[in-house]
Structure 1
Amino acid sequence: MQVNKQQGRFLDSTIEQWQKSNLINEEQSLTLKQSYEVLPFDWQRLAKYAFWLAIVCIVISVSSALVDKWLMQLLEKLFNAPNSVKCVALSLLAVLLYGVGIHRKRRLPEKMYSNEAILFLGVAATATAILFLGKVIDTGSGHFSLLMLLAAIIYGLLGLWFPSKLVWLASLISLGSWFGAETGYASGWGAYYLGMNYPLRFVLFGLVLIVVGKFLFSSWQAREAFLRPTRAVGLLYLFIALWILSIFGNYGDYDSWDAVKQIELLHWSLLFGIAALIAVYHGIQYEDEMTKGFGLTFIFINLYTRFFEFFWDGTHKALFFAILGVSFWLLGSKAEKIWQLNLKKP
């Protein structure tokens, strides 16, 4: 087995600790150490980052070309085609990229990063094709959220069919964008929809996504691997919405929010804290590192947000940042202590 340097150091220290604790003898320790090889360079990580940087460079290149006026005029002359033709051309390009990605996944499954990068380019081509489709069928109604729903459906079906978690994540992000835009359109782009502002709506959206993902993928064994990313996105929607809600409450404009005292929003902070505690309890009870991690992270975000809200104006800035620095020091020391204890456990 080939491992990187960090993994090798961890395995070495673990085996040595087992030997010191008399869980294994010297011969077994030597056998275990000979079962893996430490790579001098982490080529896997390099491949991952290189492909992501390649995609970023391509996006920057296209964006730069589109921003440049001279290149824009040149592109207009070269590609002076109706939107319908552009939509069809980009759709065919997306199909080609998806086909290449699927073929490579089946033929070269070990090249996961380059395969996912090709599929991501297919996602980008699909999004652009849908954009041109919107221009073709535009009636001036402003109901563009239907295009986001179409993107979510396409990405969802393709992601489950390939299968590809990256394309599935694009579906979940598109679905969240559709939900926000659709409720905005239904409310006439007002602040409220059914008495809820945007953060409160996304609290419900995140909960629904978590529940539906659990119900769907727990019973679908062939796609059980999609449960984790679905739940992660659902928790992200939920906790970010709760965090924003704890700051602004269910207010739809700045003047209404500015007129109330921060203490009047305390119940939203309590709701945020209770949700984080429930996530931590679930993570401990069911040994779920994801929910425990989300819960602990947003407990600290909640505490530090409240610290800024209640003490920023009334505290001297030197004292404010001194308290903040000491709190981070204590937090880091506690985390280091827990980490050391975990290393010493047999």
Structure 2
Amino acid sequence: MKKLDVNKTEREIIEQALGHWESEQLLTKEKSDELKENLDDKGFEWGMLARYAFWIALASLIFSVVSLFSDSYLSDLVEKFYETPNVVFCLGFACLAILFYLLGFRNKAKNPDKNFSNETLMLAGAFSTAASIGFLGQVLDRNENHFTLLFLLSIIIYAVLSIKLSSKLLWVFTLVALGIWFATETAYHSNWGFKFWGMNYPLRFTIFGLLLTGFAIFIQPRIKSLSIFQSTSYVVGLLYTMIALWMLSIFGNYSDFDKWSSVRQYEIFYWGLLGIGISLGLAIYGMKTKDHVSRDIGFVFFILNLYTRFVEYLWDNMNRTIFFLLIAISFWFVGRWAESIWKKK
């Protein structure tokens, strides 16, 4: 009989579960010992090595490009091609992107289990696509303000490729490009001001994140081709919402730095209260429904909002020693609370 490979932590958890079931007389001692004998210590973490290796490879690729422009000999060589038309770079990066996508598609079809290498190829293709679209903007008209259509083009490209290749990584790029398009499009229609329909960027992205989260929950599961990305959209939508709401609690709905500097933080306290309320509600909802994503995001931003308010109202009005002592004590209580919940579980 083939044994189950487990690491040390997994073995401890399984043996603890078997011991509990044995004490509750749900398992006999003989059966429990038999199941323990079926466990085998996992060897070297090759999967983790593969993940780190691909990350290092991608980082090294980026550093090599940076080094290309910092090296004196190569920079002189690059300067000789400075007059090269942008269309050449546009087409070159487009061909490179197509090559990466074809390799990724072929590799995924032949080796669907090699997730790390497949996603690395998709990531390289996504960067090449972004570079190609950037040079396309230079080719069309670098002085044209309504270049937001190019971001819309990147969204379409990433979305189509995400569906065709079933790549969640490319879907993340789709949602990031969607956020960039939303920011630039609203800025364009507000004559490049910071306010659009009376809303600054944090307020706009709070609404944008709520709409994306709602789409992920209610609409995306009904679209067969997009249903596999539902969890990804849900996470990104919540992050858009909570990050924007946290920034809104700091800056309020102000778009002018001088106006914001002249107001006291208590005058925009309601945004902070809203951020604390939503994050706490999200954490409680996640704990009750066992939705780990909403629980973790809600809890992180609940703590972040609390300590942001703590810094805002007490930093200038309290001795630094007492300030950090209070933070230490509060984190100790948070740790004790989390530990008590963990022990009960």
Instruction: List alignment gaps of at least 5 residues for structure 1.
Output: none
Name the stretch that deviates more: 293-302 or 69-78. Answer: 69-78
| Contact 1:4–1:41 (CA under 8 A) maintained in structure 2 | no
Which whole-Å deviations, capped at 9, do the CAs of 1:229-261 have from their partners, x for residues lacking one? 101000001000000000110011221111111
Q: In the alignment, which residue of structure 2 is the partner of 1:215?
A: 218
Structure 2 residue 249 is the aligned partner of structure 1 residue 246: yes
Of the three residues 291, 307, 310, the one matched with 1:307 is: 310
Match of 2:271 in 1: 268
RMSD: 1.9
- State the Cα distance separating 1:45 from its structure 2 match: 1.4
Distance 1:281 1:208 in 2: 21
2:166 is the alignment partner of 1:156: no
- Higher mean C-alpha deviation, range 315-324 or range 181-190: 181-190
Residue number in structure 1 paired with 2:262:
259
Asked if 1:108 corresponds to 2:86, the answer is: no
Look up the equivalent residue of 2:272 and give its one-letter code.
S
Match in the other structure for 1:289: 292
Instruction: From the superposition, tell whether residues 15 and 222 of structure 1 become closer, same or farther in structure 2 (CA, over 3 Å).
Output: farther
How many Å apart are 1:7 and its aligned residue?
A: 2.4
- Aligned: 1:198 with 2:201: yes
Greater mean deviation of Cα atoms: 32-41 or 251-260 = 32-41
Letter matched to residue 240 of structure 2: Y
- Give the C-alpha shift of residue 263 in structure 1: 0.9
- Between the aligned partners of 1:138 and 1:73, the Cα distance in structure 2 is 27
**Deviation digits for residues 291-321 of structure 1 (CA, Å, limit 9, x no counterpart):** 1222222111111111111111111000010
Unaligned runs of 5+ in 2: none
Distance 1:275 1:93 in 2: 44
User: What amino acid sits opposite 1:174 in the alignment?
Assistant: A
Contact map agreement 1:5 1:41 (CA 8 A) in 2: no
What is the TM-score of this pair, normalised by structure 2? 0.93
CA spacing shift, 1:9–1:40, aligned 2, 3 Å: farther
Q: 1:5 touches 1:40 (CA, 8 Å); kept in 2? A: no
Counterpart CA distance in 2 for 1:312 and 1:148 is: 41
The worse-fitting range, judged by mean Cα deviation, of 196-205 and 146-155 is 146-155
Q: Which moved more, 1:18-27 or 1:315-324?
A: 18-27
> Matched residues, percent identical?
40
SS of the equivalent of 1:6 reads: helix
Is 1:338 the counterpart of 2:341 in the alignment? yes
Distance 1:322 1:65, change over 3 A: same
CA distance in 1, matches of 2:13, 2:100: 39
Larger CA deviation: 69-78 vs 233-242: 69-78
Residue number in structure 1 paired with 2:149: 146
Which residue of 1 is the match for residue 25 of structure 2? 22
- TM-score when scaled to structure 1? 0.93
Map of 2:234 onto structure 1: 231
The structure-2 alpha-carbon separation of the partners of 1:97 and 1:35, relative to structure 1 and needing over 3 Å to count, comes to farther
- Paired residues, what number? 342
Say whether the 8 Å CA contact 1:4–1:42 is kept in structure 2: no
- Structure 2: distance between partners of 1:57 and 1:233: 27
Cα–Cα, structure 1 residues 85 and 57, in superposed 2: closer, same or farther, change >3 Å? same
Q: Structure 1 CA distance, aligned partners of 2:284 and 2:340? A: 22
Q: Could you say if the C-alpha distance between residues 69 and 175 of structure 1 is closer, same or farther in structure 2, counting changes exceeding 3 Å? A: farther
Give me the whole-angstrom Cα distance separating, in 2, the residues matched to 1:151 and 1:138.
Answer: 17
